Structure 1
Amino acid sequence: MLGIESSCDETAAAVVEDGTRLLATSLVSSAAIQAQYGGVVPEVAAREHAMAILPVVDWVLKEAGLDLADIDAVAVTQGPGLLGSLLVGVTFAKTLGASLHVPVIGVHHLEAHLYANALMAPIEFPALALLVSGGHTSLFYWQGHRDLRLLGETQDDAAGEAFDKAARILHMTYPGGPQIERLARQARKKSFKLPVADMHGRLDFSFSGVKTATAALYREHPDEPEEVAYALQEAVVRALVQTVKRALARYPVGDLYLAGGVTANEAIREAFLHLGAELGIRIHIPPVSYCTDNAAMVASLGYYQWQAGETMGAFEGPKVLFPLGQREGE
C-alpha cells in the first residue's frame, strides 16, 4: 500500500505492507516557510505540495526497493484539511491509481492518526481512543476497524490550538506546541494554576477559556513566561486526563489509544502512562515521529479500508469538512 498525506503543510509518502509493516517513509515540511507568516498560508502550502509530492513518492519506492508495478493500491488523505493541499494529494493519487490500474482509497486524516498505533502492534478492541491535534480534540469508543463512536469533542478551541494561540501571546513562533513545551520545562516555581472548563459530566472538551486565562496571567506576570507556559500545559493535561478518566468509568475497556500531533508532548504522554498504571489499563501511544502528520498511518488505515472494499469513486474529490464517527446515543 502506497500512502500519501498532504492535508496541511507536510508532504509525505510511505509504503506499508499488510497494514502493519512499514517498508519506507518520507516527509517534506513547509513549516519553516510558514513560520515567516506566523501560521499556514493555504496557497503557499499547496504550491509546496505540488513541488514535493513526486520526489517524495519516488524516494520511498526506491527506499523500499520497489517499482510502481509492485504497488497494489494507493491510499490518500481525502480530508479534512486545506482544500488546495488535499487537492494536490488526491489528484496525484487518483492519477497514479488510474495509470497503474489499482484502486485508490480515500482516508479520513484524523482516523488515520489512530492507525499510527497499528504500526506498533495489532489494535485491541474494544478500546477508547483519544485524538489530540492542532485542530481537533476528540474521544471515541473504538469497537472495531471502521467502527468509531464519538463520545466527546472540543466545543471551541482544540488543545493544540490553545497551545498555538498561547505561543503567540507569549511572543513565540509557529508552531506553538513544541515552543510551549520547551518553555514549560524551564519553570521552577510551578505555583500558577489555570482553570479548566466544567463540562458538567459530559465527555466533551473546551480550551477557549484556558487560552483567555493564559493571556490574563501573562499580563499579570510578563517576566515569568516559563511559569505561564507550565500552567497552561498543566491545565490542558488535567482537562484531558479528567475527561478520559470519566469515560473509562462509563466504558470499562482494557486499552486506551492516543494519537495526534499534540500527543508528542512529553507531559501528556507521562500523565496518561501514569493513569494507565493507576487504573490497570494498557496505554498505547505512537512514537513521537508517528504522532505528527505522516503517510504511514494513511497507508495503514487504507489497508483496512481496502480489505473492506472501500475505494474512491471516479468523481470523488477532497472533503474539507469530513465528520468522523457517529455521536454515541444518536
Structure 2
Amino acid sequence: MFWVQFFSRHASVQKILAISCVTRRTSKSVKHGRSVCLRSIFFNSVKYYPTKLVLGIETSCDDTAAAVVDDTGKILGEALHSQNEVHLKTGGIIPPVAQQLHRENIERIVKETLYVSGISLDELSAVATTVKPGLALSLGVGLEYSLKLVDKYKKPFIPIHHMEAHALTIRLINQVEFPFLVLLISGGHCILVVAQGVSDFLLLGQSIDIAPGDMLDKVARRLSLTKHPECCRMSGGKAIEHLAQQGNRLHYELRAPMRHHRNCNFSFSGLCFNATRIIMQKEKEEGLQEGHLLSCVTDIAAAVQHAVALHIVQRTHRAILFCIKSGILSQTNATLVVSGGVASNQYIRRALQIVTDATNFNLLCPPPRLCTDNGVMIAWNGIERMRAGLGVLHSTDGIRYEPKASLGIDISEQVGEVAIKVPSLEVSLNELATINL
C-alpha cells in the first residue's frame, strides 16, 4: 500500500515507471546479458534523480527568459522571448516599452518552461530571479512576478546578481574550480574580476563610461546598418561583426584608448566618438546625409571591431599578469572565463586566445546561447547558491531590485599601483586581422 501511495503522489516516479515498463521488455543488460528488472531500473532512477530543482527568471534588460535546472547541471526546460526586433525599429531600448513587453510575455515564458521541463511549481526547490543590476522597469517585472509565485507556492526565493550569474555559467558545462579570472563583456558591462567562490569576487577593473556592446550598437546605428540588406535583422554588435569580415581595418586608424593608464579599467566612449568622427568625414566626402549607407561600411566596421578587441585584450593581459604576480592565481592551473553578449564575437575570442596562449592560461567561453542573457544562468546561479547556503530567502520582506550594483571587492586601485607594463602582442593581433573568420 505504501508503494502505491508513493507512486501515485509523485509525478516524477510515474515518469520513471513509464520508461521502466518499456525498458523492461526491450532492453538487455550488457554486463549480465539478461533483461533488466523493473526494480533495478526504478532504484537506479531514484538514485540519480535530482534533489534540487530551481526555476530561474531573467528580465534585467530586453529578454524575457526562464529555465529549470537541476543540481546535476541538467537543463530540463527553457524558454525565451527576445525584444530585439522591436528595439531595432526604435533605434535602441526604450525602458517603458521593454517593461510592457516583459509584462505581456513573462507568464507565458514561465509556463512554457515548466511544460517543457515536465516539472510542476510544487516540485521546485526554489525560484531564482535577477534583481540587480539592469533596467529598473525591467527588473521590477521579473521581481514582482517571482514574488507572487514564491508566496503562492511557499517556495524559497534566491535573488540573483546578473553579472555573478554570467561569471558562474561556465561551471554548468565545465569542471572549473575556484579561483579563476573572469572577463564579462556585454551591452551594459565590461568587468574583470577574480571569482574566488560563489558570491566571492575581486574586482580588478571595469568600464569608466560605456560598455563595449553599447559602443558597437551606437556605431551600428550611426552607420544605419539596419538599412544594409545583410544586417537588417541583426543587433548592432552582430552587424559590425558580420560586415567586419568583409572589410579592411587598415584603411582607418582607431587607436585603443588608455594606453598610458596601467590599470585594468576600460573606456569605450572615446572610441565611439572617433568612429563617429570618421563616419561624418566619409559622409561629407561622399555627399551623403546621415541615415544613408556609406560605401566603406565594411572597412569602418573592421577598424572599430579591431580597436575594441585590442583594448579588451590589453586590459585583460594586464589582469592576467597582475593575478600571477600577486599570487591570486597560479601559473600552472590558470583559467580565463569570458562571458556576456559580446563574448559571442568570434574575432574578440580569437584575440583573447592569443593572450591566453602567450600567458599559458586556459580560455573558456560558454556557448553563444549561454553568453547572452538567458534563464539557464539564473537557475544555475540559484543551484550554486543553494549548495553554498548563500542568499536563499524564506522571507521576501524588504527585497528590492537594484538597477546599479557592483560585483565583489574593488581592488582596482591596487592594480593601478602595481602599474604592470603589458608586452606588445600587436604583431599577432595584426595577423588575426587578416584571417577570414
Indicate the larger mover: 313-322 or 248-257: 313-322
- Which secondary structure state, in structure 1, belongs to the residue aligned with residue 251 of structure 2? coil
Task: Tell whether 2:135 aligns with 1:54.
Answer: no
What SS does the corresponding residue of 1:233 show, helix, strand or coil?
A: helix
2:306 matches 1:223: no
Which structure dedicates a bigger proportion of its chain to strand? 1
Distance 1:157 1:50 in 2: 28
| 8 A contact 1:20–1:121 mirrored in 2 | no
Among candidates 402, 405, 414, match of residue 319 of structure 1: 402
1:294 aligned residue:
374
1:133-212 correspondence runs (5 A):
133-173=186-226, 175-188=235-248, 190-198=250-258, 199-212=260-273
- Distance in 2 (alpha carbons) for counterparts of 1:224 and 1:67: 54
Structure 1 runs, 4 residues or longer, greater than 6 Å off = none
Deviations 1:30-65 (A, max 9, x none): 111122211111111111111111111111111111
Q: CA RMSD in A?
A: 1.7
* Cα drift, residue 177 of structure 1: 0.6
Alignment of 1:1-330 (within 5 A): 1-18=54-71, 20-173=73-226, 175-188=235-248, 190-198=250-258, 199-221=260-282, 222-252=294-324, 253=329, 254-307=334-387, 308-312=389-393, 313-328=396-411
Alpha-carbon offset, residue 189 of structure 1: 6.4
Contact 1:126 1:143 in 2 (8 A): yes
Structure label with greater radius of gyration: 2
**Which is richer in helix?**
2
Identity among equivalent positions (%) equals 35
Q: Following the alignment from structure 1 to structure 2, what is the Cα–Cα distance between the partners of residues 229 and 261?
A: 18
Deviations 1:164-193 (A, max 9, x none): 111122112473111111111111464323
Query: Greater CA deviation, 286-295 or 40-49?
Result: 40-49
Shift of 1:285: 0.4
Give TM-score scaled by structure 1 length: 0.95
Cα deviation, residue 275, structure 1: 2.3
Which deviates more from structure 2 when the two are superposed, residues 162-171 or residues 210-219? 210-219
CA distance in 1, matches of 2:202, 2:262: 18
Q: Using the TM superposition, name which of 291-300 and 213-222 deviates more.
A: 213-222
CA distance in 1, matches of 2:298, 2:173: 35
Structure 1 residue ranges without an equivalent (≥5): none
Letter of the 1:73 counterpart:
A
Alignment check: 8 A CA contact 1:256 1:283 kept: yes
1:36 is paired with a residue whose SS is helix
Distance 2:241 2:209 in 1: 22
- Contact kept? 1:10, 1:30, Cα under 8 Å: yes
Q: Is the 8 A contact 2:309 2:348 kept in 1?
A: yes
Of 259-268 and 210-219, deviating more is 210-219
Q: Which ranges in structure 2 are unaligned for 5 or more consecutive residues?
A: 1-53, 227-233, 283-293, 415-437
Contact 2:198 2:384 in 1 (8 A): yes
1 CA distance for matches of 2:191 and 2:248? 32
* Paired amino acid for 1:83: A
Point out which structure has higher relative CO (alpha carbons under 8 A, 6+ apart): 1
Residues paired across the two proteins, number: 330
CA distance in 2, matches of 1:53, 1:32: 18
Contact persistence 2:128–2:159 (CA under 8 A)? yes
Q: Secondary structure at the match of 1:20?
A: coil
Q: 1:19 touches 1:301 (CA, 8 Å); kept in 2?
A: no
Q: TM-score, normalised by structure 2?
A: 0.73
